[in-house]
Amino acid sequence: MKSIDFFEQQFRQQAARGDFALSPFEEAVLPYLSGGVLELGCGLGNLAIAAAKKGCAVTALDASRTAVDRVNEAANRLGLSLAAYQVDLSTYAIDGDYDCIVAIGLLMFFAKERAHVLLADIVSHVKPGGIAALSVMTEGTTFVGALEAGNHYLFDENELSGPFKGWEILLSRHDEMTEPDNTVKKFHTVVARRLA
């Protein structure tokens, strides 16, 4: 898949120069995380590591070998309750219930049907009182570097809120980022708590 190759290359470059900063979305989500956390599409694991440092028990999944190795190296070195696994999330089914499930910048890399299946899988595996934290690219995004033609999905502006009717919405925000050649990336980020 194009997105997997794109990020593998990007992560090799970032790891080589020691670029392990939290993204703005990871910064926004971190305060809500506690207990057992599943992170899908963890990338270099900056959020997973920060969550484990504040006491969470984290399982982190990603397709990138470089990313998974970096996360496990940091977990071992720092003695964290954190394990990362190399998984292709285009076919993965969540195997248990969690206090928090996180997917930041992931679901748009699948076709609409798969994005919705994985979204429903996330929603159904959050424990009562637990948190789902998601960020997706939305319509109007014109920066398509990592997106594979015919195998991606830009969500409607507020579509991500749909599955969380009846949940407590703790955060809902829209961001727009300027990219090269007058292109933009648009995101909707939601943190929601399933009622206990």
Ligand X SMILES: C[S@@+](CC[C@H](N)C(=O)[O-])C[C@H]1O[C@@H](n2cnc3c(N)ncnc32)[C@H](O)[C@@H]1O
Binding site for ligand X (CB under 6 A): 1, 3-4, 7, 23, 25-26, 41-43, 62-64, 67, 87-90, 104-106, 109
In whole angstroms, how close is the CB of 104 to ligand X at the nearest point?
A: 4
Can you tell me the distance from the alpha carbon of 81 to that of 101, in angstroms, rounded to the nearest whole number? 16
Nearer of residues 88 and 176 to ligand X, judged by Cβ: 88
Q: How far is the CB of 164 from ligand X (least distance, A)?
A: 19
Least distance to ligand X, CB of residue 46, Å: 6
Quick one: 46 or 126, whose CB is closer to ligand X? 46
Q: Given the complex with ligand X, which of 151 and 172 has the nearer CB atom?
A: 151
**Spatial separation of the C-alpha atoms in residues 81 and 59, rounded to whole Å:** 9
Beta carbon nearer to ligand X, 1 or 144? 1
Do 111 and 154 contact (CB within 8 A), yes or no? no
Measured from the CB of residue 114, what is the shortest distance to ligand X in angstroms? 9
Coil, helix or strand at residue 60: strand
**Whole-Å CA distances, 167 to 87, 103, 124, 171:** 29, 17, 12, 12
CB 48 within 8 A of CB 38: no
* Segment (H or E) for 94: none
